[in-house]
Amino acid sequence: MAGHSDTPVAVSRTTRTSWRARGSRTTRARWAVRGSRRQSLLRRVRTTTTVLGMLLLVACGGDGPDPATHPAWIPGIAVNPAHCTQALHASTGPETPAEFLPITFFQAGHGWWGSGTDATFQLDDPTDTCLGTQSAWMRSGGTGQNTRIGHTGIGPYDFTDRDVVVWVKVDDWAHLDVLRLWLSSDEGDFTDAVTFDLTTLTDDALRYCRPGEWVRFVVPWGHGVPEPGTTVDRSAIRTVQLQVFDDNSGHPVRVHWNGLAAVSRSGNPFPHGVVSLTFDDGYATQSTEAARYLDTRGMRGTLYVLRSYVDAGGSHLDESQLRSLQDDSGWEIAAHADKATVHDRARGYASSEPAVVEADLRAVQEWLLARGFHGGAQFAYPKGYHDDGVLTVARRITASGRILINTPLETWRPSDPHRLRAYMLTGSTPVSAVTELVDLAVADRAWLILVFHQLESPAPVHGTTPADFRTIVDHIAASGAEVLPVGEVLARGRGESTSGS
């Protein structure tokens, strides 16, 4: 088994599975139409989006779903609402055994073992549970050594056309170095294994999880990296290991586990994956460069508006350009922030009190609605920062929240619609890194959310050159992936029809 010091070998994602370029999608052709037919389509989209947006805002009121009526996607396992609030807010999970394949919830008699230098384990902990009556935890020794729990000779479990689901809680992210899941088709060892690195959840400012928070996290199979030179039989997983390394600073790290399962992709409405092209703040080049080129491809984007940038002159959009993006190009005009002074604080909304956050977010939503822009139910966290207070506000008054965590893929049925995972491009992002992610989304039938800011040459720090943007768009068009605004992806994932799709 590879140790902590091993350097992962880069594996071209396109070689893992074959895919072929596909022709233009119906959606693209429809949006390329000019004249009365296109205007008719746009009117239907605007009407549908208005109604949908208002319904979503109403649906997001209150403190989240009632656990008594929450879908029973874990047969026979009770959800502890006091400890598992994120799971209750997560997207509706599968409800049949055919869609949901439990591996363990660490209940009595689970049979897992623990191992590690200077490590401590409690594999039957009844005091802190998200699911059922007990969980398991492991505490590293603070010396940077491998700490792990595992189970050999299980199953076999068939992960064909399935993603991975974990229920996990980390007490102290600050001193966590590696958090990793191993799945192997060998019985008793990890010669043929695929690893899933969950450490990207721990970025200090933008991490997906809060310290001490139980989360239900869906990991796309495409995030897995096979051990070099090995072949994993995905249809027969027999050995599992959950692994932790601390940062060797003398501070132990405790990680709790309460579940591991496989979730089916059956019912996925995106057979070739889906890409959302999102644009932040409101720069003029998002109209003059991005929309102009997307129009030629019949593609539509989502623009998250920083209201005080509108009509500010210089490099920013004016209201007429926003209107054209929605009415002529079919874009979703969504909420980012109202005041730049609030948006630009060191930690975005997380630098402000919840009352300030709510006032600012409601102000931009009301501004959008008053002017006939219909995407205000969708929201992107300023700078991607989101603490408990910001999340609470977002859950109450929005339908979704996009973060900037740079874990490449989101699942079509998100782990949490208020923590949509996205990949932000910067001036130093190579085009090849983005096209590889597109190919992975197609192969994995996943959702890739890309984040753009300025489109200028030379590219600014948080920008992309127009030439690189066109290359990325051309690659998406050739890949066969569907391209939809964020709100429409979420609606399709819930089984709702969307006009123009």
| CATH value at residue 483 | 3.20.20.370
Query: What is the DSSP secondary structure assignment for residue 175, as one 8-state letter?
Result: G
Average pLDDT score over the chain: 82
Are residues 176 and 301 located together in one domain of the fold? no
Are residues 258 and 337 located together in one domain of the fold? no
Are residues 352 and 314 located together in one domain of the fold? yes
In single-letter form, the type of residue at position 405 comes to I
What is the model's pLDDT at position 434? 97
Q: Is the pLDDT of residue 236 over 70?
A: yes
What is the model's pLDDT at position 33? 31
First-to-final CA distance of the chain: 46
In single-letter form, the type of residue at position 317 comes to L
Q: Is the pLDDT of residue 225 over 80?
A: yes
Are residues 256 and 311 located together in one domain of the fold? no
- Token pair for 339: 């005041």
The answer to whether residue 73 is domain-embedded is: no
- Token pair for 470: 């066109």
Strand 423-424, strand 400-402: pairing? unpaired
Best-predicted range by mean pLDDT (93-107, 257-271, 285-299, 413-427): 285-299
416, 86 in Cβ contact below 8 A?
yes
pTM metric for this prediction = 0.83
The more confident residue out of 406 and 30 is 406
Q: Is the pLDDT of residue 320 over 80?
A: yes
Coil, strand, or helix at residue 375? strand
The answer to whether residue 308 is domain-embedded is: yes
Are residues 210 and 343 located together in one domain of the fold? no
Buried b (16+ CB within 10 A) or exposed e, 65-88: beeeebeebbeebebbbebbbbbb
Question: Which of 356, 339, 336, 282 is closest to 314 using CA atoms?
Answer: 282
The answer to whether residue 501 is domain-embedded is: no
| Other Cβ atoms closer than 10 A to 43 | 12
**Residue indicated by tokens 């002074």:** 341
The answer to whether residue 69 is domain-embedded is: no
| Other Cβ atoms closer than 10 A to 101 | 17
The mean pLDDT of 153-173, rounded to a whole number, is 91
The mean pLDDT of 201-223, rounded to a whole number, is 76
The helix or strand, by DSSP H or E, that contains position 253, with its residue range, turns out to be none
Are residues 414 and 443 located together in one domain of the fold? yes
The mean pLDDT of 481-500, rounded to a whole number, is 87
Q: Is the pLDDT of residue 61 over 50?
A: no
What is the model's pLDDT at position 85? 66
The answer to whether residue 76 is domain-embedded is: no
- Token pair for 392: 């609470």
Question: Which of 407, 395, 418 is closest to 449 using CA atoms?
Answer: 407
The domain total for the chain is 2
Are residues 198 and 255 located together in one domain of the fold? yes
> How far apart (Å, rounded) are the C-alpha atoms in residues 486 and 300?
10
Are residues 260 and 273 located together in one domain of the fold? no
Are residues 417 and 349 located together in one domain of the fold? yes
> How far apart (Å, rounded) are the C-alpha atoms in residues 383 and 431?
22
The answer to whether residue 322 is domain-embedded is: yes
Q: Is the pLDDT of residue 62 over 60?
A: no
Burial of 297 (0-12, 13-18, 19+ CB in 10 A): middle
Are residues 451 and 332 located together in one domain of the fold? yes
Domain limits for position 460: 26-59+269-493
SS3 content of the chain, % helix, strand, coil (to 5): 30, 25, 45
**Share above pLDDT 90 across residues of the chain, in percent, rounded to a whole number:** 64
Which contacts qualify for 188-193: CB closer than 8 Å, 24 or more apart?
A: 188/152, 188/153, 188/238, 188/239, 189/1, 189/152, 189/239, 190/1, 190/227, 190/239, 190/241, 191/227, 191/230, 192/227, 192/230, 192/231, 192/232, 192/233, 193/1, 193/226, 193/227, 193/230, 193/232, 193/239
Least confident of 15-19, 174-178, 387-391: 15-19
What is the model's pLDDT at position 330? 98
Are residues 179 and 139 located together in one domain of the fold? yes
**Share above pLDDT 70 across residues of the chain, in percent, rounded to a whole number:** 79
CATH number reported for the structural domain that contains residue 235 in this entry? 2.60.120.260
Q: Is the pLDDT of residue 122 over 90?
A: yes
Q: Is the pLDDT of residue 48 over 90?
A: no
What is the model's pLDDT at position 42? 34
What is the model's pLDDT at position 204? 53
Q: Is the pLDDT of residue 5 over 50?
A: no
The answer to whether residue 32 is domain-embedded is: yes
Question: Which of 215, 300, 310, 256 is closest to 476 using CA atoms?
Answer: 300
pLDDT band at 38 (very low <50, low <70, confident <90, very high): very low
What is the model's pLDDT at position 267? 85
> How far apart (Å, rounded) are the C-alpha atoms in residues 298 and 331?
11
Buried b (16+ CB within 10 A) or exposed e, 156-165: ebebeebbbb
Strand partners, 467: none
- Token pair for 20: 């072929």
The answer to whether residue 2 is domain-embedded is: no
Domain end call among 235, 264, 293: 264
> How far apart (Å, rounded) are the C-alpha atoms in residues 10 and 18?
18
Domain end call among 234, 264, 294: 264
Are residues 293 and 322 located together in one domain of the fold? yes
Coil, strand, or helix at residue 5? coil
Domain end call among 243, 264, 285: 264
| Other Cβ atoms closer than 10 A to 120 | 14
